[in-house]
Each structure stands twice: as structure tokens, then as C-alpha cells.
Amino acid sequence: MTGKGRELADMMERRKVDILCVQETRWKGSKARSIGAGFKLFYYGVDSKRNGVGVVLKEEFGRNVLEVKRVSDRVMSLKLEIEGVMLNVVSGYAPHVGCQLEEKERFWSELDEVIESIPTGGRVVIGADFNGHVGEGNTGDEEVMGKFGVKERNLEGQMVVDFAKRMDMAVVNTYFQKREEHRDILTGKCRELADMMERRKVDILCVQETKWKGSKARSIGAGFKLSHYGVDSKRNGVGVVLKEFGRNVLEVKRVSDRVMSLKLETEGVMLNVVSGYAPQVGCELEEKERFWSELDEVIESIPMDERVVIGADFNGHAGEGNTGDEEVMGKFGVKERNLEGQMVVDFAKRMDMAVVNTYFQKREEHRVTYKSGGRSTQDVVYLCAPTSTLVSHSMLLPLLKISVNHSHVHPLSKVHYHLSFKVPFLNSKLAHHLLITCVPLTNMSIKICFYHHSLTHGNTLYHLI
């Protein structure tokens, strides 16, 4: 949590943010603490695996806090006085589309009670992830929203509009005619990706759990292009984001909403980038087997003389030790192997690949790729043999997660780490340093990116994070 809090503080300082609402924090407990750079975090959660809300303030405002109400792990509020004005800041996290109606009604009831308890004349700002959209147009709802929403209204969006009418509030970001990327949360998320890739000099990025329906390739700004595939706007979805390499793409295979690949030529080398999203632990075995069968077919279709990188959320860990598996992994995994981790190892053996981040003895924080509360996992990334034998270094570094909801910016709910390692890329006259990373966003997982660091003469070096 310390690293996560520090990332928040750094982002707020860089963007000159004074007050920030956070959701899906998954921090258990009820505390207020400094997170560095002059910011203070107030948060509440009852389970380290789900929900959790919080508010971050500049410490100069923190001294003006008069009251903190921690209603539930979905609703909390702060009352503070600024220059004689009473300001109430409410952080909320609505249940997802697939949750039970009873849970949704409980959330809205809690939010109603908080707003109704605020005296008339007090200022109120709600920064929440409502998990819905109010849609385009405002016929019949002119008193609470403008015309410039996005897409069609869903049930969750209707609940937002009904709440606004009850409380005499407004859906502020629908009143202003802006470019779609300034209104669409999903497009805004893409823009955040593009900004991050540009800032960190990333060339290629794999994304999972995008929940984008359709099969498209589109610009997301800053010179980046996204190719994605999904069949349902509520689950799964994969994609790959490219910068300068977009012109070199020779083939795109959209196999399913869990597997897709791009073939591109760079410096005379054929590189296949595969984005994958494995079923989670609780999914049916049949669904897991179907994913691995699709991934097998993709890898088997790639000629032996071409390079392959898989950037995937495998939802498993290969575990510590490598007895009997020395040819595909090192000793330095994390925790015990689970069924999903065994499937990963079996796949590596079938395809003559390697679980690269298990070969290097590092501190745990440099090996763990996901950490939230008391849980940690080690997602895995592969390189085709014999390339894996050329890996010279491995380390993980923390990276910020940002999501955009309505007119508010909500930062990371989890800390994700990135494995970096060097691989000499043969048959190339120009040397690059590329970093590949693992970082999910809300409803979106960044699992591979190439960070282009420098150009020198000699062999090409790839950093995989």
C-alpha cells in the first residue's frame, strides 16, 4: 500500500490535484495516513479482495477536515471547511452490471442517506465509479443532464439519473460538447494509455480484459494505434497498441476475445506479439482448456525462425522451485503452484518457451507482478527458446494505474509491478532497449509494453517487464 499511495501522491503533485476520490482500493481497515508529497489519505474497506473507497487531500486541506463518515466499503464522505465554505466530498463505488439488484439498491440507499444528511447550503461533490452510462441526449431529463453523454443509457445509468433528480444534482460532464475522447470513459482510458506510453517511451503494448465489443483498429492519440477484439462489452477482450511499428504490421489474427496476435517486421526480424487473457481461477475447466487450445494453435502456426512474445494475464502462478521443470523455469517464483500455474508450465514445455521472471533471484517486490492487500501473484511472460537462454537481467518496478470515470479522475486500485529483462535480439544491425510491462487499468489490463530507451550499434536488446 505504501508504494501505491506514493504513486497517487506523485500523480496528484504532477497534475496539481488537490482532492482525489479513489475506489476499488481493496485496502482493509479504517485509517487516515500521510502518503508523501504533502498528501493525506482517508480510506475504508472491510475486505482485501473487493471494494473499498477513499479520499486523498492535500495536507493543507487535511487540517480543515471536520468530519469523516465511513458508511460502508462502497460509500464514504469527508466534510471540510475551505475559506468559510463547507465542502462535502463523497467517494462511491457502485456495484458492477452483473451484481444482484439488492446490492445495487443498498448502495444507492447508502448514498441517499449521506446526501440527505448534509445541511442545505453545504456544497457537495461526488466522485464515484457508478459503473454505468447515462447515454446521449437528455429528453425528459433536461434538469439534471446535458445532451452530450455517450452511447445508450443502461440500467445503471438510469439509476444515476434518478439519483440526480432525487437530490437536485447534475451529471456535469454531459453539459459540454467535447471531442468523444473527452467524454467517453473508454476513449479517455485509451488516451491515458497513449499518454503513459509516450511518457515512458513505450512502443508496443498488450492489453487484456478491455471489455470493448467489436473488431477494430483505431488511433488513440499521440501517434499510437490500437487493434482489439471482443464479443461482449461486459467481459474479456484483448488488444495490442503499437506506435511506429504500426506501419510494419503484416497480419492480425483475432482468434477469440481471449487470444489475438500481430505479426510485424522490424529491422528484418519477424516478431509475433500475442495478447492473451486466461480464464480466472473460478471459471469452468472447459473454458480454461479452450483458451489453452486457442493459444496452442496460434503459437504452432508461427514459423520456427520467427520471434514470439506473449503478453498475457494468465491468472495463475508457477510457484517457487523448479524441480522437474528446469528446462522451462527457474527457482524464483512466488508461493505455491496452482492449477492455472501448472497449465502455464505445461504450455511452456509444449512450446519450448520459458517462464522468464522465475530465473532471477530478486527481492519479492521485484518478482511479484500483482499485489493487493495481503495477496500477491506472479503473472508470467514468455520468450521462445532459444531466446530465453539469452536473458541477462530481470527486475520489477511499480507503475501507476489510472482510470477515468465521468468527470472525475480515479487512480489505481491495485499496485502492479513489471518484470524487466534484457534479451539480445539477433540478426539486427540497430540496437534498441525495449521494456515490456504488466499493468492493469480498471476494466483493462496492460500486460506487455516495449519501452524504447536508446539506439546504439550492436545487437538489439529487449527489456521485458
Crossing angle between the packed helical segments 101-116 and 155-167, to the nearest 10 degrees: 20
Asked, for residue 188, whether it belongs to a domain, the answer is no
Q: Is residue 3 very low, low, confident or very high in pLDDT (cuts 50, 70, 90)?
A: low
Which value, to the nearest 10 degrees, does the dihedral of the CA atoms of residues 13, 18, 22, 28 take? 80
How much is the pLDDT for 426? Answer: 33
* Residue where one domain finishes, among candidates 105, 133, 161: 133
- My answer on whether 204 and 67 are in the same domain is no
> Total domain count for the chain?
2
Q: Burial-class residue 155 by CB neighbours within 10 Å (0-12, 13-18, 19+).
A: exposed
- My answer on whether 311 and 429 are in the same domain is yes
Instruction: Name the percent of the chain lying above pLDDT 90.
Output: 33
Asked, for residue 96, whether it belongs to a domain, the answer is yes
CB atoms within 10 A of CB 322: 19
* Residue where one domain finishes, among candidates 107, 133, 159: 133
- My answer on whether 215 and 316 are in the same domain is yes
Asked, for residue 159, whether it belongs to a domain, the answer is no
- Would you say residue 117 has pLDDT above 50? yes
How much is the pLDDT for 88? Answer: 95
DSSP-derived letter for residue 243 is S
Domain that holds residue 56: 2-133
- My answer on whether 72 and 212 are in the same domain is no
- Would you say residue 336 has pLDDT above 70? yes
* Residue where one domain finishes, among candidates 115, 133, 151: 133
CA distance 59 to 377: 33
- My answer on whether 128 and 234 are in the same domain is no
Asked, for residue 178, whether it belongs to a domain, the answer is no
- My answer on whether 343 and 239 are in the same domain is yes
We report the CATH number of the domain holding residue 299 as: 3.60.10.10
How much is the pLDDT for 353? Answer: 85
Across residues 287-312, what is the average pLDDT? 92
- My answer on whether 332 and 419 are in the same domain is yes
How much is the pLDDT for 423? Answer: 37
- My answer on whether 98 and 242 are in the same domain is no
Asked, for residue 158, whether it belongs to a domain, the answer is no
Asked, for residue 453, whether it belongs to a domain, the answer is yes
Across residues 199-209, what is the average pLDDT? 84
- My answer on whether 214 and 338 are in the same domain is yes
Q: Would the pTM of this model clear 0.85, i.e. be above it?
A: no
Find, among 391, 409, 408, the residue nearest to 400 by Cα.
Answer: 409
Answer for the pair 405, 96: CB distance below 8 angstroms, yes or no.
no
